[in-house]
Amino acid sequence: MVNKERPVNLKLTSIHFPMPAITSILHRITGVVLFFFIPFLLWLTWYSLSSEQSFNNIKTFMSLFSFRFFLWVFISALFYHIVAGIRHLFMDIHIGETLKGGRYSAWFIFILSAVVIILLGIYLLIGFNFTL
């Protein structure tokens, strides 16, 4: 018979994940984002190479803020996924797999990615002009 008086914690805000867990979860989320974005970008590349008119259509499309935001999300996910994947590869060869090393590398990945993603957002969304 099951004990029905067991403790239940349904308050999700009281759960605090350690930084290595957060970076691992974000690595999985960015992998899913890339899985859905890559087919569209492959199609976009194919379309832009199919004719001069389609290339000009893509150039016009790239001037839209929504497309630049889409591009920023994709590149941000790609950058984070690559950097976190490199961290996992180092851990596979037993570099930084201690508790202290895992925490430091997780914070390093998180801060590096945040800085690069913010700078990329400023460049793509505010300061970059796509006219060729």
Please state, in angstroms and rounded to a whole number, the distance separating the CA atoms of residues 129 and 8: 54
Q: Is the pLDDT of residue 79 over 80?
A: yes
2 pLDDT more than 90: no
Spell out the domain ranges in the chain.
Answer: 20-127
Average pLDDT over every residue of 47-53: 94
> For the structural domain made of 20-127, what CATH number should be given?
1.20.1300.10
Specify the pTM. 0.79
Read off the pLDDT of residues 96-116 as tens digits, 9 standing for 90 and up: 888 898 899 999 999 999 999
Residue 60, pLDDT > 60, answer yes
Say if residues 130 and 62 touch (Cβ distance below 8 Å).
yes
Q: Which residue intervals of the chain are DSSP H helices?
A: 19-50, 52-62, 65-92, 99-121
Mean pLDDT, range 47-62, rounded to an integer: 91
